[in-house]
Amino acid sequence: MVDADQTFVIVGGGLAGAKAAETLRAEGFSGRVILICDERDHPYERPPLSKGYLLGKAERDSVFVHEPAWYARHDVELHLGQTVDRIDRAAKTVRFGDDGTLVRYDKLLLATGAEPRRLDIPGTDLAGVHHLRRLAHAERLKGVLAALGRDNGHLVIAGAGWIGLEVAAAARTYGAEVTVIEHGPTPLHSVLGPELGNVFAQLHKEHGVRFRFGVRLTEIVGQDGMVLAARTDDGEEHPAHDVLAAIGAAPRVGLAEAAGLELADRAHGGGIVVDERLRTSDPDIYAAGDVAAFPHALFDTRLRVEHWANALNGGPAAARSMLGQDVTYDRVPYFFTDQYDLGMEYSGWAPPGSYDQVVIRGDAGKREFIAFWVKEGRVLAGMNVNVWDVTEPIQRLITSRAVVDTDALADPHVPLESLGA
């Protein structure tokens, strides 16, 4: 039984941590809730950082999960700009990194998120080399893109994943010249495979983005602290005034590792191993959001999902689990993107090699279609591009594991709701 004498500590002030705190109060928990955030900004959502806010279409205040006064009003003790550098599992305490203050917990949630992977090449210390993960990064990059557009400057982006492509779209909208360096054969190859990766390549090419596939950056060339060019391993030199490193993110597991918690291997994306209730190998410590590697029965594997919906849903699920409720976290992975006039939603999990065909419903050439990744007649994932209000039937097809007629799946005149019934 949870009572008012208990203290629940949440380390990580992103969306997962903030929604966990909200859920604890909504579920009636009357004990102490302590939320520790290593940034000085109040907890915020990350999608606008590479979308609306970066483009100047959304105000800064719109990114925050709650208004600042919400935390005091709900008796959530918010510590901004504070780090935790140690968990003592035996004493059930966490230690603040700046002054050594110890805080005792009854239950602890790790929502430490992920951090950008760094380029390990010469020149990354130059002033014009950027990452995009935090609000401060987006504020800086927003000004950079505006200046590049105004001065006809060049941005080189290392990586053609979601962040790289969304920033490329924003940069072109500002008027900057953009070159994307990607070691894979297409954009988003590890997520969408070659069939759909080419859709995004063509979209960006039509908007003036230059791609160099199958190569890697080897050096960022500069002078007097400023970026002049970017070199690739094929010997080419690409003009650049700024460089964005968008080569993925790594889960922030240092705190968990030092505490002796079980970690997932790289084959499963790293992260902190949790069970279906989001409990770690210590029954009083939980993990949620980008850092949690959870078992997913539907896909028969352990997943670590970095997208917004996982933080939005995982934080509340962990909070309910901390309260002793019967929780099984098995949400279908979901994410979305907006690039130029293309809007997309993706549900499921279908890495290259896991499916035997891709079924297209609609017109891929006009970029109004739904793509389905299918194995032995069962839908593993679906992506709707400029087609809306279909996420629920797509997810039902995935979760039902029903064998569907692929001709009917490809036919826009056959209602999705009628398939797999």
| Separation between Cα atoms, residue 35 and residue 51, nearest integer Å | 27
The predicted pLDDT at position 421 comes to 61
Looking at 103-107, 137-141, 304-308, 417-421, which range is the least confident one? 417-421
Q: Residue 204 pLDDT more than 90?
A: yes
Structure tokens, 22:
């909200």
For residues 169, 175, 177, 180, the Cα torsion angle rounded to the nearest 10 degrees is -10
Band (pLDDT 50/70/90 cuts) for residue 4 is: confident
> Which amino acid, one-letter code, is at 256?
A
pLDDT tens sequence across 113-122: 999 999 999 9
The predicted pLDDT at position 127 comes to 94
Q: Residue 1 pLDDT more than 50?
A: no
Mean pLDDT of all residues in 131-140: 97
The residues that bridge with 272 in the sheet, in sequence order, are: 263, 292
Q: Residue 340 pLDDT more than 70?
A: yes
Find all residues with CB under 8 Å of 187, minimum gap 6, and list them.
160, 161, 164, 165, 180, 197, 200, 201, 204, 211
Question: Is residue 251 within 8 Å of residue 291, measured between CB atoms?
Answer: yes
Closest among 289, 335, 328, 290 to 20, alpha carbons compared: 289
Closest among 230, 228, 232 to 241, alpha carbons compared: 228
Contacts of 354-362 with CB under 8 Å at 24 or more apart are 354/380, 355/193, 355/380, 355/381, 357/406, 358/193, 358/195, 358/196, 359/406, 359/409, 359/410, 360/410, 361/409, 361/410, 361/411, 361/412, 362/387, 362/412
Q: Residue 198 pLDDT more than 70?
A: yes
Q: Residue 207 pLDDT more than 80?
A: yes
Question: Is residue 304 within 8 Å of residue 311, measured between CB atoms?
Answer: no
Helix (H, G, I), strand (E, B) or coil at 72: helix
The predicted pLDDT at position 356 comes to 93
pLDDT tens sequence across 41-59: 999 999 999 999 999 999 9
Average predicted confidence (pLDDT) for the chain: 96
Mean pLDDT of all residues in 85-99: 96
The predicted pLDDT at position 2 comes to 55
DSSP 135-185: HHHHHHHHHHHHHHHHHT-EEEEE--SHHHHHHHHHHHHHT-EEEEEESSS
Mean pLDDT of all residues in 339-343: 96
The predicted pLDDT at position 135 comes to 97
pLDDT tens sequence across 217-272: 999 999 999 999 999 999 999 999 999 999 999 999 999 999 999 999 987 789 99
| Separation between Cα atoms, residue 291 and residue 274, nearest integer Å | 10
Closest among 158, 193, 216, 109 to 372, alpha carbons compared: 193
The predicted pLDDT at position 67 comes to 96
Q: Residue 194 pLDDT more than 90?
A: no
